[in-house]
Amino acid sequence: MPKPAVALDLLLLPTWLVPVEPAGVVFKDHGLGIRDGCIVFIGPRAEALKCDAAQVRELPGMLLSPGLINAHGHAAMTLFRGLADDLPLMTWLEQHIWPAEAKWVDEDFVRDGTNLAIAEQIKGGITCFSDMYFYPKIASTCVHDSGLRAQIAIPILDFPIPGAASADEAIRQGIELFGDLKHHPRIKVAFGPHAPYTVGDENLEKIRVIAEELDAAIHMHVHETAFEVQQAVDNTGERPMARLGRLGLLGPRFQAVHMTQISDEDQALLVESNCSVIHCPESNLKLASGFCPVERLWQAGVNVALGTDGAASNNDLDLLGETRTAALLAKAVAGSATALDAHRALRMATLNGARALGIDATVGSLEVGKAADLVAFDLSGLAQQPIYDPVSQLIYATGRDCVKHLWVGGKPLLEDGRLTRMDESKLIATAQAWGRRISGHNE
Ligand SMILES: CSC[C@H]1O[C@@H](n2cnc3c(O)ncnc32)[C@H](O)[C@@H]1O
Ligand SMILES: [Zn+2]
């Protein structure tokens, strides 16, 4: 008896298929089949063509990979892009960004800024992002409407913030949003204590208890600069990582963003507790914050994911570019050209991000059974020729302008470089109107 043909909604036939898992593999002339939003088939082209596909899409000259995962950012800060450049972290935050946020951030700002960030990220090959910003309920509505996947981290500080008069209020809102979105297929809610220098022990303990009860992730800026660590040691005699360990916050659900300062004791804590580190190399470079020792962490077994940080400290949400920066910087920091090779860099931008966000059973690699979160990069242009290793070409010689198509859960959000659900000219006009208002040029 001949086997019945596999039924597919969509069959994709790229020149190269990079599954990320197994590591280091490139399949040439293979097909990937999607049914009900999931990957149900991966195999040689000849086998793929035997499937019973409702739609077949040839992708000549294209590399199909898992969608990129931007594991740290502040989406609505796109509207502050370029507002305060070339400054160190604390001057940038205390003298420019926090006053601007106090003046401008409201629900409309977050809606417009988040939609702009979502569109930029889709066009850049990102299928999932982590957001940590004010009015998280608004951001989650934007994500829901867009079709993208996201982790929404509830911002918590010891002082009032836009949308929450106290840390207790922010935590209450977080619990409510967590409950509302518990069964959402694309959105996960996490808790986002801002940083060790803005959240005291009392609130950190509350967050630990609630995150434990809900099995929720904790997403936090940690050890971003040497100044942060030195100030904590001077004031308390304890490094922030040691403090977080003592308070019981560290564990596999803990996402430590930045980590440019890592002593042997800090590294041991990361390894023992199985935390993820989220590396934001361009923000760290631009604010002169320091260098995360990515290769050392990777060799020690720490899961290192990648983030852009907000557009006010980067100044773009280009995770492909960020991956290139990470790969180059890792070599300089390790003093070794073999550090973070192109294949591992792509893994960091995909599967490691999924693992950090606790969604690696669903996304992060091209495997049968996972959701069809995919990006197709066009490598047929002259700047990519000739092609010896398509992954090397993607990381070292390709820009986000080569992103052609993108799917989340099998749904197309980008077709031939065009957004399918968002109006690009409206997004640009809205951002420009905010720019005129913020810069005081609003006649
Ligand atoms: C509570 S999250 C939003 C809060 O964080 C600020 N922020 C943006 N980028 C950074 C960074 O790199 N380090 C510390 N804080 C940052 C943002 O402006 C909001 O106030
Ligand atoms: Zn940040």
ipTM: 0.99
Convert the pLDDT of each residue in 321-362 to its tens digit. Answer: 999 999 999 999 999 999 999 999 999 999 999 999 999 999
Q: What's the rounded Cα separation, in Å, for the pair 425 and 414?
A: 15
CA 73 to ligand 2 centroid distance, Å: 6
Copy the structure tokens of residue 257: 């963003």
Percent of the chain past pLDDT 90, that is, above it, reads 98
> Where exactly are the structural domains of the chain?
8-66+368-409, 68-357
CATH code that applies to domain 68-357: 3.20.20.140
Mean pLDDT on 136-158: 98
Q: Does pLDDT of 62 surpass 80?
A: yes
Q: Does pLDDT of 368 surpass 90?
A: yes
CA 295 to ligand 1 centroid distance, Å: 26
The preferred substitution site among 87, 94, 114, 221 for testing ligand 1, maximizing ligand atoms within 8 Å of CB, is 221
Q: What's the rounded Cα separation, in Å, for the pair 269 and 274?
A: 8
Residue nearest to atom 18 of ligand 1 (CA): 97
Q: How many CB atoms lie within 10 A of CB 223?
A: 27
Burial 132-156 (b: 16+ CB within 10 A, else e): bbbbbbbbbebbeebbbbbbbbbbb
For residue 221 and ligand 1, the question of a CB distance below 6 A is answered with yes
For residue 75 and ligand 1, the question of a CB distance below 6 A is answered with no
Residue nearest to atom 20 of ligand 1 (CA): 98
**What is the model's pLDDT at position 2?**
72
Name which residue leads in pLDDT, 24 or 3.
Answer: 24
The verdict on whether omega for the bond into residue 315 sits within 30 degrees of 0, i.e. cis, is yes
CATH code that applies to domain 8-66+368-409: 2.30.40.10
Q: Is 258 annotated as a binding residue?
A: no
Q: Is 224 annotated as a binding residue?
A: yes
Is the Cα torsion angle 391, 55, 360, 257 positive or negative in sign? positive
Ligand closest to the CA atom of residue 97? 1
Is residue 423 very low, low, confident or very high in pLDDT (cuts 50, 70, 90)? Answer: very high
Average pLDDT, rounded, for the chain:
97
Kindly report the pTM of this predicted structure.
Answer: 0.98
**What is the model's pLDDT at position 163?**
97
For residue 195 and ligand 1, the question of a CB distance below 6 A is answered with yes
Q: Is 194 annotated as a binding residue?
A: yes
Mean pLDDT on 106-117: 98
